A and B are shown apart, each in its own frame.
Chain A
């Protein structure tokens, strides 16, 4: 069974079709990069999968379950998590508090329990601090006291904290050096191998290196869906996107 299915998904703003009849199937563990010129509909499609934008028509399914009408928090609980292009952190919460907030079970009554006594939760937070090399920021550090790279790592640590089935990464390499970018990829690869990743990026080398498949969007439509090698040789893609580089 596919992990994610998009069936003829569309989103219009007035007369403008931001996403126009996109269909897509994603298998567990698959990595898909979405590329396209500015205004091609990449971000809208991304937000449709994450639930930040509702569809005008079409259907979104996760593991066979229709999630089209679910809110972002419900989609998160169904297994979809995401990161943002510019770090979307909590300015007045420390690194530990942010990760604790992210790792806590969101069951109805768990909010009434003290988390100081929750050893499993503390261990999970410690693990994330170690894995994402955030240990030295532990405790009282606030986001604005951290380097940009550390903020990006925290952003991604928040996104993977729930061990999602599907991880959406919006321009994950923005502001990172090439080695930090490689490091980031390695950390994500260490996640559950069945975790699928969909990412939007402008860095072609990164897209070609990271993806099993590359989707190319143009004027709201998906104009190509193929392996990175085939996409690199696709003349239409070269014309509408790669040629414009």
Chain B
């Protein structure tokens, strides 16, 4: 009985959480539905980034730029070219983000460690500057691409905040399935191997550079999908969504949620989005301070996590010994 329950507990929990998430719009105001949608989108962006952080050990600070590539691609195609089909727009966002992340990877993977982080930071800032300077990436005399609206699925849908939230939830579930599939596949295992022991991976016949590039491209592509959804939901995409600060926030989401854990980054994305929103509602000027304090506390907990794990392990051993005695 216990064994059977243990086997079904996890899938059952997941089904209940998804079903609960699906029914959530009925309990929320329109504004809260928008916030929940945004939280899901940033959950996806953080989970995507964690493919690079938690799996490959590549600490990219340029993922907001790839988020922006997805957002700007759908924004420009929609506003300038009048394309409304979700399928065409999302395909374009995927191709654009994949290409951009491949270019990022080809350049950044020439550097290692701290220099890798700095190169991704510089690349991200270059994209942000391009978004700021290039008039093609601005509409209606503003600094951003505005006038983006919810796309057409071609399924006779009637968009409301609630239905779009449900649509984003479906995509979030699909994305988490894809990420889980990648992580548990031989590809995911090989990517983790390159993080853990690069030299051993090479002498086991793995082309370490190629696996790292694949991790960056997968991470960047999925981030681009989140960026596209953000543009649809927000109705605009701006250089502030692309810059270093936005990349830092994505990194914060991953770290707070727990890098390399099953759903940690996704939950981190949701938590930080909600925290940022409610902190700015409470006191807009002090919101960055609150987020900063949370970040420092999380970093310190992570710093001493090894010691905490040891304490928990020794307590477990003691329990086992007590039982044996």
- A contacts, CB < 8 Å to B: 50, 52, 71-73, 76-77, 81-82, 84, 88-93, 97, 100-102, 104, 106, 110-115, 158-159, 161-162
Complex contact B187–A112 (CB within 8 A): yes
Report B191-214 CB contacts with A as 1/0, cut-off 8 Å: 011001101111111111000000
- B contacts, CB < 8 Å to A: 184-187, 189-190, 192-193, 196-197, 199-208
Known A91-B196, A158-B200: A113·B205 in contact at CB below 8 Å:
no
Q: Which residues of B contact A90 (CB under 8 A)?
A: 192-193, 196-197, 200
Q: Which residues of B contact A158 (CB under 8 A)?
A: 200, 204
10 A-B pairs closest in CB distance: A76-B205, A111-B187, A72-B202, A90-B196, A106-B205, A88-B200, A111-B186, A73-B202, A73-B205, A77-B205
Complex contact B186–A93 (CB within 8 A): no
Q: Which residues of B contact A50 (CB under 8 A)?
A: 203
Q: Which residues of A contact B185 (CB under 8 A)?
A: 111-115
Q: Which residues of B contact A88 (CB under 8 A)?
A: 197, 199-200
Q: Give the residue of B189, B199, B201, B207 whose beta carbon is less than 8 angstroms from that of A100.
A: B189
Q: Give the residue of A89, A106, A114 whose beta carbon is less than 8 angstroms from that of B197.
A: A89
Q: Which residues of A contact B197 (CB under 8 A)?
A: 88-91
CB distance from A106 to the nearest CB of B (A): 5
Q: How far is the CA of A84 from the CA of B202 in the complex (A)?
A: 13
Q: How far is the CA of A56 from the CA of B189 in the complex (A)?
A: 35
Complex contact B190–A101 (CB within 8 A): yes
Q: How far is the CA of A84 from the CA of B201 in the complex (A)?
A: 13
Q: How far is the CA of A100 from the CA of B185 in the complex (A)?
A: 12
Complex contact B193–A93 (CB within 8 A): yes
Q: How far is the CA of A159 from the CA of B201 in the complex (A)?
A: 11
CB distance from B57 to the nearest CB of A (A): 11
Which has the most chain B C-beta neighbours within 10 Å: A92, A106, A111, A113? A111
Complex contact A73–B200 (CB within 8 A): no
Q: Which residue of A lies closest to B208 (CB)?
A: A73
Known A71-B207, A73-B205, A76-B203: A92·B189 in contact at CB below 8 Å:
no
Q: How far is the CA of A143 from the CA of B208 in the complex (A)?
A: 22
Q: How far is the CA of A93 from the CA of B192 in the complex (A)?
A: 9
Complex contact B196–A104 (CB within 8 A): no
CB distance from A90 to the nearest CB of B (A): 4
Q: How far is the CA of A97 from the CA of B199 in the complex (A)?
A: 17
Complex contact A73–B206 (CB within 8 A): yes
Enumerate 12 A-B pairs (CB-CB under 8 Å) in ascending A order: A71-B202, A73-B204, A76-B205, A90-B196, A91-B196, A93-B196, A113-B185, A115-B186, A115-B189, A158-B204, A159-B203, A161-B204
Q: Which residues of A contact B208 (CB under 8 A)?
A: 73
Q: How far is the CA of A115 from the CA of B186 in the complex (A)?
A: 6
Q: Which residues of B contact A82 (CB under 8 A)?
A: 203
CB distance from A140 to the nearest CB of B (A): 13
CB distance from B179 to the nearest CB of A (A): 14
Known A101-B190, A113-B186: A106·B206 in contact at CB below 8 Å:
yes
Q: How far is the CA of A77 from the CA of B207 in the complex (A)?
A: 11
Q: How far is the CA of A82 from the CA of B206 in the complex (A)?
A: 14
Complex contact B204–A76 (CB within 8 A): yes
Q: How far is the CA of A67 from the CA of B208 in the complex (A)?
A: 19
Complex contact B192–A102 (CB within 8 A): no
CB distance from B221 to the nearest CB of A (A): 15
Q: How far is the CA of A114 from the CA of B186 in the complex (A)?
A: 7
Q: How far is the CA of A91 from the CA of B184 in the complex (A)?
A: 18
Q: How far is the CA of A93 from the CA of B200 in the complex (A)?
A: 13
